[in-house]
Amino acid sequence: MTADNRLVPLAMMMPGEGGVIREMRGVRHHLDGHIRAKRHRRPPRGHRDPHLKTCDRGHRLEHRLNHLGLLPGEQLRVVRNSAPGPMIIAVKGSRLCISRGVAFHLMVEPDRECSP
CATH number at 50 reads 2.30.30.90
* Confidence bin at 88 (pLDDT 50/70/90): very high
Question: Could you read off the pLDDT of 63-86 as tens digits, one per residue?
Answer: 888 888 888 999 999 999 987 889
Residues spanned by the domain of 37: 3-110
Q: How many domains does the chain have?
A: 1
Q: Domain for residue 41, yes or no? A: yes
Q: What counts of helices (H) and strands (E) characterise the chain? A: 4, 6
Which H or E run contains 21?
strand 18-24
Q: Which residues pair with 78 in a beta bridge?
A: 89
Q: Domain for residue 115, yes or no? A: no
Question: Could you read off the pLDDT of 11-47 as tens digits, one per residue?
Answer: 999 999 999 999 888 765 544 444 444 555 665 666 5
Q: Domain for residue 116, yes or no? A: no
Helices (H), the chain: 31-39, 50-54, 59-68, 100-105
